[in-house]
Amino acid sequence: MKKSLKKSLLVGLSVLMCGAFLAGCGNDSKNAENKDTLKVAVTNFASSLDPAENFFSWVVMRYGVGETLTKFDKQMKPVPWLAAKWSVADDKRTWTITVKDNVKFSNGKPVTAQAVKESLERAFAKSSMPKTFFQYESLEAKGQDLIIKTDKEYPNLPSLLADPFFLVVDVQSERDGRDFAKQGPIGTGPYVVKSFTKELAVMEANPNYWDGAVPFKTVEIPSIDDPNTRAMSLQSGDVDMAVNIGPGEIGLFKDNDKFKVDEITSLRVVLARINMNGVLGDKNVRDAVISAADRKNYADVLLKGTFLPGSAPIPPSMDYGFDQLKDPNAYNPDRSKQLLAQSGWTDTNGDGIVDKNGQPLTFNFIVYNSRAELPLYAEALQADLKKIGIDMKIQTVDYNLLDGIGKEGKYDMLISNIVTANTGDPIWFLGNYWHTNIDGSNPQNGSGYSNPQVDQLLEAATVEFDPAKRREYAIQIQQLLMNDGAALFFGYPKTNIVNAKYLNNVVMYPSDYYWITNKISK
């Protein structure tokens, strides 16, 4: 029996055993009477809580510590949060954002426009990412008005400011000695950090919260990467709710009246970034790899319908032309073999792997496993590529290494699970990953991908205020990326929060930012 088959059988047996366990027990509601504590099982990728480091601001917001000037509703439209209102001047570059009068930091200090200004300045100074959203010529505080003058037109600036990178923190508290990485920032959310490790975060109620009552004295947040264990923790009553139950277990909760499931089609895409500077720089090889990937089978069978099959950069959950786009690399392994042969890759020694000039066709695929579907995708692709004579090696790394790997292009293929419209529309996503990386201006495009036509369309879309025109630009850009084989788009995940029925107001939002809020109660 081959090693890969043995592994598959062991995984399957593990899932069956887990399923049998789950089916035979139910949440005994032992936490239902404990009104003071909420326990939430998550997968945590952050090694610190400094919001300017990596993408750790997402965790700060998800854990109820940080808030932004604006937030997204369920239709991904920006609505006021810490801001009361906003407007843009006739020059389309000068924005006035009025900060609410009643907002306080968790240490009791009022949130002024000056404090917001300092928070934004910190974000831009400490991270290269904020400037990929927008750049400013000046920031000015006048009373509760923050005046942002941008370097060019940004039609969706209110949406950009909803990204967790721009959550508002008390910068003075850091100057006074607070270690944001270890202690968490002083923010405006309903909870503050009591203790934090990557494995367990403990929050406590913010005594100065500005937006209503805080229902729990304590929120315990264990990080449980294994989806089976996460499901069992919820089923056994060790936690009250869990984020993103895996495909093997979600059905058990849907059929159990002791739980509530909030599942939506997400804004995410699971994709493999492709390095243009190695063996995959040959378009025939890229196209062969993409055509060999049986994405429908991955979604329907491997992931049990919890994903939709991939083809384009932007999910079908958004109105950006998914049905009118043409996939030039639809599943066709015979075509894959022909493409490899056209580039001189044939199996000359009969070992099952194609070769050229005495070298086998092999490359590395980098994955991280804190999301259950990623190693499954990698192993399925590995098997499909072997059928056409490609030897793909899987390398598993810690999530915290991905940022550097992505920026520096230290990969042949690199898997990612990305929110495509975290700014309300997908133009930022498309530009950040596929605009030509000039002087490090696009830190996530370490792949070397460059297409002048794509650049031109992205630059036009970035300053276009008309939503219909922005949409048309996005459709054109997607088709060019697909034609170029710029990435392998595996699929589009559904996302969920599952909770014991005694909890109220547990909601999964498309933006995937708002997990723990002051609306959740027992």
Same domain, 261 and 279: no
What CATH number corresponds to the domain at position 450? Answer: 3.10.105.10
Within a domain: residue 83? yes
Single out the residue in 124, 158, 175 at which a domain terminates.
175
Same domain? For 410 and 353 the reply is: yes
- Residue 382 pLDDT grade (very low, low, confident, very high; cuts 50, 70, 90): very high
Q: What does the pLDDT average to over 370-378?
A: 89
Query: Tens digits of per-residue pLDDT, 391-447?
Result: 999 999 988 888 888 888 899 999 999 889 877 789 989 998 999 988 777 778 889
In terms of residues, how long is the chain? 522
Strand partners, 415: 272
- Cα–Cα distance measured from residue 243 to residue 498, given in angstroms and rounded to the nearest whole number: 6
CB 364 within 8 A of CB 372: no
- Specify whether 300 is located in the same domain as 354: yes
Q: Mark whether 353 and 207 lie in a shared domain.
A: no
pLDDT of 326 strictly over 70? yes
| Same domain, residue pair 158 and 233 | no
Nearest C-alpha neighbor of 168 from the set 105, 84, 77:
105
Same domain, 24 and 70: no
Residue 120 in domain = yes
Q: Mean of the pLDDT values across residues 146-163? A: 95
Phi and psi torsions of 283, nearest 5°: -60, -35
Counting the structural domains of the chain, the total is: 3
Q: What is the pLDDT of residues 464-513, one digit of tens each?
A: 989 899 999 999 999 999 999 999 999 999 889 999 999 999 999 888 89
The confidence score (pLDDT) of residue 226 equals: 85
Quote the CA–CA distance of 379 and 377 in Å, as a whole number: 6
Structural domain harbouring 123: 57-175
CA dist., res. 35 & res. 521, Å (int): 8
CATH classification of the domain holding 260: 3.40.190.10
End-to-end CA distance of the chain: 51
Mean pLDDT across 32-44? 92
Last residue of a domain, one of 230, 265, 300: 265
pLDDT band per the 50, 70, 90 thresholds, residue 26: low
In a domain, 508, yes or no: no
> How many whole angstroms from its chain centre is CA 213?
30
In this model, does residue 5 exceed pLDDT 60?
no
Single residue among 115, 145, 175 that ends a domain in this structure: 175
220 CB-near residues (< 8 Å, 6+ apart): 37, 38, 39, 40, 200, 201, 202, 203
For residue 501, being part of any structural domain is answered with no
216 and 286: one domain?
Answer: no
User: Is pLDDT above 60 for 81?
Assistant: yes
Q: What is the mean pLDDT of the chain?
A: 91
- As a whole number of angstroms, the distance between CA 157 and CA 176 comes to 31
- Tell me which DSSP letter residue 166 carries: G
Q: Are both 25 and 82 inside the same structural domain?
A: no
pLDDT of residue 409: 87
- Residue 379 located in a structural domain: yes
**Residue 34 counted as domain residue:** yes
